[in-house]
Amino acid sequence: MGFVFIKYIYPSMVFMNKVLIALFFCCIFQVGGIFAQTNYSIRCSFDKKVLLKHLQSLSSDAFEGRRTGTKGATKARKYIINQFHNLKVEPLGKSFEQPFSFIKKKKVFDAVNVLGLIEGSVFPEKYIVISAHYDHEGVKYSKVYNGADDNASGVGALFAFAEYFKNNPPKHSVILAAFDAEELGLQGSKYYVNHSIISSQDIIVNINMDMISRSNKKELYVVGTSENKKLKSLFTNSKYSSDIELIRGHDGYDGLDDWTYTSDHASFHKKGIPFLYFGVEDHKDYHEPTDDYENIHPLFYVEAVKTIISVFEKMDCSVGFKNRP
């Protein structure tokens, strides 16, 4: 019986040790601050210049506004896959590409999601999906809609996450999802949640980023916490940035526009998967051909990406998140 005891207790002890070691090394945050507020800003993480360069490239005219099914979208996809390769991100399926088609206004569109995987070091069987759509409005009346903020900014952040994970491997497995056809009705995320390569039961949360690179008021919103105590707790008495304001809201309870269904997180929400959506208020260049690199706010963007990675880090380190929050 003694042997049986050891045999059965041992794996769980190894597991607990792994968890404790992981949590110990998790504490890379600068702890301190006033009014009992803990500062969760990450110290070092990714190359800011490289982040801005990605946004600039993806929103250049060469990508022709990245409209679903166009040459520009194919070019963007190749760019994303190339970066995933360079950053040692593995494909989620047999390849990075998840093709699908859909009909909109009697027209058939061929679209492709790009899905990468970083295996978790402690809870590999539980997944956090970090997403950003890479498509935009394309070319209309000979004007290129470059979509710098919407949403080259979110795609750049996916690369920053991948770069960050090289030195800070996540505890949970992470799927980096660059969705196609968001602008045509959240098609990429809709297809993904209905044809998931892993069971959607194993996705504990979706972190979606769409328009995160500019704000005159230096305000970044996080949506998705109002009905979820555990997600809400990530933000109580926690400060993630002293340079930008991270505001919980826009989820239907504060008199502001409800953003629950405005981007790809909606597809996860409809499946009962908790989500955090990060984004800024609409601006004068929203869905205009002037949504260009020149009009983003580089310092805000870098700080926004740092902030989102810091929130991820806190979530990933919390044992309570190994099951759905």
Print the binding letters for residues 11-50 with Zn ion: x by CB under 5 A, - otherwise.
----------------------------------------
**Smallest separation, CB 135 to Zn ion (Å):** 9
* Number of residues counted as binding Zn ion (CB under 5 A): 3
Would you say 150 or 180 has its CB closer to Zn ion?
150
CA distances from 306 to 61, 62, 200 (A): 27, 28, 27
Question: Cβ(155)–Cβ(66) under 8 Å?
Answer: no
Q: For Zn ion, which residue of 64, 135, 180, 210 counts as binding (CB under 5 A)?
A: 210
The label of the residue with tokens 């996809």 reads 77
Question: Cβ(275)–Cβ(283) under 8 Å?
Answer: no
137 binds Zn ion (CB under 5 A): no
Would you say 136 or 314 has its CB closer to Zn ion?
136
**Smallest separation, CB 318 to Zn ion (Å):** 29
Window contacting Zn ion (CB under 5 A); options: 39-47, 85-93, 203-211, 302-310: 203-211
- E strands of 105-260, at which residues? 107-118, 123-133, 138-140, 143-145, 172-179, 203-209, 219-223, 238-239, 245-248
CA distances from 146 to 62, 69, 203, 263 (A): 9, 16, 32, 18
| Ramachandran class of 147: left when φ > 0, alpha when ψ lies in -120 to 50, beta otherwise | left
**Smallest separation, CB 7 to Zn ion (Å):** 53
150 binds Zn ion (CB under 5 A): yes
How far is it, in rounded angstroms, from Cα 275 to Cα 202?
A: 14
151 binds Zn ion (CB under 5 A): yes
Would you say 250 or 314 has its CB closer to Zn ion?
250
135 binds Zn ion (CB under 5 A): no
Would you say 144 or 204 has its CB closer to Zn ion?
144
Kind and range of the H or E run holding 278 = strand 275-279
Note the residues at the interface with Zn ion (CB under 5 A): 150-151, 210
